[in-house]
Amino acid sequence: MMSTVMNSADSQPARIPGYDGGPLTHQTGLLEEPLFWLGHLSSCVQSEEAEELLFGADYDAAGDFQRLLWEQAEWPTFTVPLAADHRLYVVYRTFTEDTGTDYLLHHPDWDHAELLARDDGHFMGPALSWPELVAAADNVLLGGSTTDPHARLLLLLPVFGDDEVPDEAVGRLADALRARTCVEDPESLAAVLLEDQGASGPACWTTAGHGLSVNDGPYSFRNPVNRCALPADHLVRVANALAP
């Protein structure tokens, strides 16, 4: 099963302007594989309890699957369309010495894509508030890797961080885990993941002038006081693209 999924690359996606690497390949079959999701969500795990709830008896199988994923020459790439022709990209960067997952945002009028987050040994994020995450998952727009809101939610979850998560978020995440994974206790896992919120931890989001949504994460490109922050005008266009 693993080799079949790994070798079932779809047509090569268009180059992402300003982003080097590749070859980028659509591998939408990965989204149908429960073991893929265990590896994809592994950076969200920050405790032994969360690790046990996520992997359970599948720990070794998930590790083998993830190793095969990182060893391939192609860079698995997934897309989530947004309003007004914006698009989120999730790129598995399979460099031998620098593996990780990059999250980018682009619009046809922009000369380059904006790097919103990096999920690797030098994590940069968060990139999304809870309302932005849910809006991207639920917009039902065609043209991406999947229209399934559960898959979209899990695909973007590693770069979410928000200290004001609504009560219904646990049920929403549990539904996604139940639909796309084989974890035994999706409700408990959802609660733990939303409490820990991965490598970045929860961030406080505020709205500045012109509806600009920013956060206070020390490693976030969307925190205007960080040395790594996007330029002010780019922060505005990112916030507008991701606005619920």
Predicted pLDDT at 11: 55
**Phi, psi at 101, each rounded to 5°:** -120, 125
Predicted pLDDT at 72: 92
What are the CA-CA distances from residue 166 to residues 120, 170, 191 (Å)? 28, 8, 12
- Whether the Cβ atoms of residue 91 and residue 21 lie closer than 8 Å to each other: yes
What is the SS3 assignment for 5?
Answer: helix
Amino acid at 222: R
Nearest to 116 by CA among 95, 86, 145, 75: 86
State the pairing for strand pair 98-106/87-95.
antiparallel
The sheet with strand 114-119 has its strands ordered as: 24-26, 75-81, 87-95, 98-106, 114-119
Q: Quote the Cα angle for 117-96-74, to 5°.
A: 75
Tens-digit pLDDT string for the chain (244 aa): 444 455 445 656 668 999 998 899 999 999 999 999 999 999 999 999 999 999 999 999 999 999 999 999 999 999 999 999 999 999 999 988 889 999 999 999 999 999 999 999 899 999 999 999 999 999 999 999 999 999 999 999 999 999 999 999 999 999 999 999 999 999 999 999 999 998 889 999 999 877 799 999 999 999 999 999 999 999 999 999 999 8
Domain boundaries, the chain: 2-242
As a whole number of angstroms, the distance between CA 177 and CA 185 comes to 9
Cα R_g (the chain), whole angstroms: 17
For 182, which DSSP code? -
Query: Taking phi first (over 0 means left), then psi (-120 to 50 degrees means alpha), and beta for anything else, what does residue 70 get?
Result: alpha
Predicted pLDDT at 21: 87
Residues 6+ apart with CB under 8 A from 242: 82, 86, 105, 128, 132, 135, 136, 213
